[in-house]
Amino acid sequence: MAVNLRNQPIDRRRLSKEDKEAYRPRARMQAAARARQRRGQMAQQRNKQPFTSERKPGTGGFTQGLSIQQARLREEGAKVERSKQLRPSVPTP
């Protein structure tokens, strides 16, 4: 895999004696390896599947759970009872 960095080998024949001693090609190769690794991580992040739904336990975060449903059903039951009480009583023939 090409790194596509301006990190070509250095011709040590043209370096001074001090520069020849200070030059460490291993550091250049390690830097190139780290650059390849970082590019691979970025490509993996870019190409991974995004979440299509929220990862929450239970109801998925859309409702507050069973307690709200139970309260709503209790209210509906109370409405039905009130409507039955308000009906006029019909004598049976």
Cα 8 to Cα 28: distance, rounded to the nearest angstrom: 9
Tokens of 90: 């019909």
30-51 confidence digits (pLDDT tens) = 888 899 999 999 999 999 988 7
Domain assignments of the chain as residue spans, ordered by start = 12-47
Cα 70 to Cα 65: distance, rounded to the nearest angstrom: 9
Residue 55: band (very low, low, confident or very high) from pLDDT cuts 50, 70, 90: low
59-71 confidence digits (pLDDT tens) = 555 657 778 889 9
Average pLDDT value for residue range 16-37: 86
Cα 82 to Cα 77: distance, rounded to the nearest angstrom: 9
What backbone phi and psi angles, to 5 degrees, belong to 45? -65, -40
Task: Give the chain's mean pLDDT.
Answer: 82
Tokens of 74: 């209790």
